[in-house]
Structure 1
Amino acid sequence: MWPSPWRPPCPASGSGNSFKPIPLTVTRLAKLRTRAFFAQQCRCIYCHLPIWEGPYKDRLVSALGIPESLVPYLQSTAEHLVAQQDGGPDAPVNIATACQWCNWKRHAHRHNCAPDPVTFQAEVRRLMAAKRWHPAARWASRTLPGRAGQRSDRA
């Protein structure tokens, strides 16, 4: 059964020896988001910055020293790769996890016309390399050398 009620902490959160229970999720979409969160190794599908989900917020903040002002931007959100309004299902193949910032920017002021995920990811990665995308880009370039803007396995 996925996700297991007991999962190891995110690799970015420090020691892999401690286990922390994942709270039981209420909705199917929340379960799919949690599944994608771990499948993507706790990183946004677009900007590839570390993100947090539920009880892992404090671990991410303490392990990586994320400034408190950036924490809300790095919250995990469920991202429909094909929008529901375009017939995209709530299914594992259609759900990825994105940080709050990237999800908002992909859909902001774009009623019925969000860019496709592959094009959007390429644009975000280009802007991340120039440190012109995410509020956390400058922090990431100092703290996570060579990590921000890396390619992910999905999309």
Structure 2
Amino acid sequence: MTNLQSLRQQAARRQSLRCYYCECPMWERDATTLSASFGLSKAQANLLRCTAEHLRPKSEGGPANRTNIVAACLFCNRTRHKAKNPRCPESYKKYVRKRMQRGRWLTGLFVFRTLE
């Protein structure tokens, strides 16, 4: 196991296996339980896979340590980094939460509807 994997697992436990940004439940090893619990397809469950997120990017000298690594679902992690100029983590978290309140984040997932 790499240091980053270990840090991701620690962050996931600290966060009760919930995404740092959207607070949706995530999975680490097997999506089957999450899929069954929320009636998700394999593709939908894959969006909720737990990933490691650097709050301060490696490219800007962000360290791989406990204070800089959080657990984020694949959807939030990818969406944040697709942007031409990604928002800072706190700004992105507020953006995601606002979109969720409006029903415009992870739309179509049963998980989203259960968190309202």
Fold similarity call, TM over 0.5: yes
User: Partner residue of 2:101?
Assistant: 129
Deviant stretches of 4+, over 3 Å: none
Instruction: Indicate if the aligned counterparts of 1:70 and 1:135 stay in contact, CA closer than 8 A.
Output: no
Matched, 1:140 2:114: no
User: Partners of 2:27 and 2:10 in 1: how far apart?
Assistant: 13
Superposed CA deviations along residues 55-114 of structure 1, whole A, max 9, x for unmatched, are: 4x222222333333311100011000000111110001100011111000111143xx42
Report if aligned partners of 2:18, 2:26 keep a CA contact under 8 Å in 1.
yes
1:135 shift after superposition: 4.0
2:59 counterpart letter in structure 1: Q
2:66 to 92, 97, 100: 92
Shift of residue 28 of structure 1? 0.4
TM-score w.r.t. length of structure 2 = 0.89
Please point out which of 18, 38, 42 is paired with 1:64. Answer: 38
Listed as ranges, the matches of 1:1-150 within 5 Å are 26-55=1-30, 57-110=31-84, 113-136=85-108, 138-142=109-113, 144=114, 147-148=115-116
How many correspondences in the alignment? 116
RMSD, matched Cα = 1.6
Tell me the TM-score normalised to structure 1 length.
Answer: 0.68
Structure with greater Cα Rg = 1
Structure 1: state its 5+ residue gaps. 1-25, 149-155
Q: Could you tell me which amino acid in structure 2 is paired with residue 122 of structure 1?
A: K
- 1:54 is paired with a residue whose SS is coil
Name the CA distance, whole Å, in 2 between partners of 1:41 and 1:65. Answer: 21
